Structures are given as C-alpha cells and as structure tokens.
Amino acid sequence: MFKKLDILDEKDKTLRKISKDVVFPLSKEDKNTIQKVIDELTYSQIEEYAEKYDLRPGMGLAFVQLGILERIIIIVHEVEEGIFDNYVFINPKIVSSSEEIIAAEAGEGCLSVNREVEGHVPRHARVTVEGFDEKGNKIRCRAREDLAIAFQHEIDHLNGILFYDKIDPKKPFYSDSEMRLI
C-alpha cells in the first residue's frame, strides 16, 4: 500500500540544520525510508501514478526533508521513458567539480518549496561524488548536467542550504552568453 511521504515545507527550521554523518550498519527504519523515497520519486515521474497519488514530480530527496538529520540523499534519474537509475548516497561528498558553470534554464524546484521561484541557480556542469551505499561500501559517481545539478541540490540540503539561497537577487537570470543553460 503506497503512502505519501510527509515532506517538510521550507518554513520548517529543520531544513536549515546541518545533517549528521550516518554510522553503519543502517537501521531497518532507514532502509525502509530509502525504499519509500525511491518509490515516491519514481511514481512522481510517471504521469499516471503522479495523478493517482497527487505527487509533485521530483527526482531527488534528502533525508532532512523528512525531518531526519542524517546525511542520506536519494536521486531517481529517468534515463529513458519509464527507465530509472537510482542513486542512494550515504555521507556524500563532492570530491571534484568542473570549472564550467551551468544552470537549469527553467530554474530549479524542490519538494520542500511549494511555490514558483524565479531565477537561475549556478551549478557545476560536472561533479564527482563519493559516499557509501546502503551496505557501507564506498561508491563514486561522475555526474553531468541535470544529474550533476541534482547531486549538488541534494547535498546542499544536508548543509541547510535551499536552492534559492544561490540565486543572485541582483541578477537572478543569465543569458546563454554568460552561462550555459540546460
């Protein structure tokens, strides 16, 4: 039986706290929560389920958005119609990033921000992320473009940062000549 996650709203001060490193082994509760997040993020990107369960589309979630101050992020990336790659990173760290800066042309959204936020969020075009899988094995991912943006967005959550904190109020939008918009 699918039950929608209780995602914190941006007004909740918990979202501004810094999450703590996870100690292995993972609790049964954490493992269950990871699976629930994967299910909801997947359903949210499939129109029929999104409508059925009243889900806003999202590709990533950090545990802090559920009120759990643990350094766990989950990204469900649609690589082809209906085909998803799941990334579960525990204690993730960006170990390298490109000099090239990009932004999502349509702007970024967040399951904790229930309103439209105008502006481009400057992000690295490519990042390498290291962390651990659910069993405590070291893992590494080289991400580019929209996946790189998702990793940076979710890791920011672990540090109490929301995407709109990175929008320059004096210059919220960039042209293609100033930054590559994807």
Cis peptide before 92 (omega within 30 of 0): no
Cis peptide before 172 (omega within 30 of 0): no
In the numeric block, which tokens belong to residue 130? 């290291």
In the numeric block, which tokens belong to residue 74? 């989950």
Decide if 127 contacts 97 (C-beta within 8 A).
yes
CA distance 156 to 153: 5
| Active site amino acids | 154
Strand partners, 20: 70
Decide if 113 contacts 162 (C-beta within 8 A).
yes
CA distance 40 to 58: 9
Distance of CA 56 to the CA centre of its chain: 14
Decide if 53 contacts 4 (C-beta within 8 A).
yes
